């Protein structure tokens, strides 16, 4: 069995569906290995994401806060995982600006509690079990800060310069994971990924927000001048990379995972509009008419870019999707799953959108 923290969120749920070859996804050699999903079910945690596996005997769910060290250790002793994949995190920059305390609690204190429980659990394993055990920490490229237009892409040795409460809390969690490897010998693996997109993403993030608003004929908010650059990684490619790191990554190492797709935010928005116009035309005209530039977020990083040569060279992984193919799959998924979107939009998310964008 493996443990997945934050498995009801966007990337975590995609990983579980991929791991168990559910929802029409291809089988892998380890698809019969069971998964225990640990999630507190905050606003972005959605068990509807995992409807395809809820009755699968290989899948189990535990509603639990990762800050609860003793409860985590009890679960480990009961189910004896051979690996823990740590996705659980507060992850939205705007939310971290409005309320940084929850990011410190979950991303730093929660990671600390999970590491402490894991250290105690691993100390109880046999020598062979201990040797085979892995702790994979899923992090972000935002810990590296912001790049200029001609700066080289982030590598695994780029100094940390986080610029938001979110990225600072993730940077702290990365440092804790590194320390537990070097101090206690915990066989850790850390991945720093670029901007994910794809099915099941909560519609506060750029691409699903633009899709939802465009279909509803609402303004498409773009921060500042729209020229902030991100490297875009299709979530299915990310899942494949994580499998590879778990299987063959060297303990104590960090692997950057990128999609090789640098694009400005405004180019992303316009591409989404064109796809929607092709797949579901609007009688009112091209959806680019809905683009609305809003006041930029404080401290908005200008550019992220990932140098993924290490994972390619050491582990043989490269993304299989271009931005065009991945975005086409994403837009079609949202068009085909409007019930899922409606369930999300009927909740507290509406209040968040109003608070964050009204008056910008």
Active site amino acids: 141-142, 166
Residue carrying structure tokens 């800050």: 67
Q: Are 93 and 297 in contact (CB under 8 A)?
A: yes
Nearest CA among 79, 77, 36 for reference residue 58: 36
283 vs 89: CA distance, rounded Å: 41
**List of residues 6+ apart from 223 with CB closer than 8 A:** 265, 293, 294, 295, 296, 297, 300
Q: Are 326 and 276 in contact (CB under 8 A)?
A: no
Measured CA to CA in angstroms, residue 273 lies from 57, 139, 213, 256, 287 at distances of 41, 30, 10, 30, 5
14 vs 56: CA distance, rounded Å: 16
**List of residues 6+ apart from 200 with CB closer than 8 A:** 10, 13, 14, 46, 49, 235, 340
Q: Are 311 and 241 in contact (CB under 8 A)?
A: yes
β partners of residue 230:
263
Q: What is the DSSP string of 274-292?
A: HHHHHHS--TT--GGGGEE
- The backbone torsions φ and ψ at residue 134, rounded to the nearest 5 degrees and listed phi first, read -140, 145
Q: Are 49 and 8 in contact (CB under 8 A)?
A: yes
Measured CA to CA in angstroms, residue 264 lies from 104, 197, 270, 354 at distances of 29, 15, 10, 25
36 vs 58: CA distance, rounded Å: 8
Q: How many CA atoms are closer than 13 Å to the CA of 103, on its beta-carbon side?
A: 20
């Amino acid at each position: 069995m493996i443990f997945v923290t934050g498995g009801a969120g966007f990337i975590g749920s995609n990983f579980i569906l991929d791991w168990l070859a559910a929802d029409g996804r291809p089988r892998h050699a380890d698809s019969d290995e069971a998964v225990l999903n640990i999630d507190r079910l905050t606003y972005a945690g959605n068990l509807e994401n995992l409807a395809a596996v809820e009755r699968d005997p290989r899948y189990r769910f535990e509603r639990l806060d990762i800050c609860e060290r003793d409860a985590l250790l009890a679960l480990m002793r009961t189910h004896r995982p051979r690996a823990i994949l740590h996705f659980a995190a507060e992850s939205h920059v705007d939310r971290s600006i409005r309320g940084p305390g929850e990011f410190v609690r979950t991303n730093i204190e929660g990671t600390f509690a999970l590491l402490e429980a894991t250290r105690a659990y691993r100390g109880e394993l046999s020598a062979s079990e201990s040797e085979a055990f892995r702790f994979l920490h899923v992090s972000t490229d935002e810990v590296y800060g912001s790049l200029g237009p001609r700066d080289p892409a982030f590598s695994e040795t780029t100094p940390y310069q986080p610029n938001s409460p979110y990225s600072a809390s993730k940077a702290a969690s990365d440092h804790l994971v590194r320390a537990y490897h070097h101090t206690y010998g915990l066989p850790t693996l850390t991945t720093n990924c670029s901007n994910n997109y794809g099915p099941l993403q909560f519609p506060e993030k750029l691409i699903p927000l633009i899709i939802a608003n465009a279909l509803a004929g609402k303004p498409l908010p773009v921060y500042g001048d729209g020229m902030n650059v991100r490297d875009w990684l299709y979530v299915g490619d990310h899942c494949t990379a994580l499998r590879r790191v778990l299987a063959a990554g060297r303990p104590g190492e960090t692997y950057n995972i990128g999609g090789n797709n640098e694009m400005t935010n405004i180019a992303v928005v316009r591409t989404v509009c064109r796809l929607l116009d092709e797949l579901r035309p609007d009688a009112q005209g091209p959806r680019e008419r809905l683009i609305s530039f809003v006041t930029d977020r404080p401290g908005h990083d200008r550019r992220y870019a990932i140098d993924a040569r290490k994972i390619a060279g050491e582990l043989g992984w490269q993304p299989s999707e271009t931005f065009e193919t991945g975005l086409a799959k994403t837009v079609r998924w949202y068009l085909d799953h409007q019930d899922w979107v409606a369930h999300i939009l009927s909740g507290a998310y509406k209040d968040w959108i109003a608070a964050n964008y009204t008056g910008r």
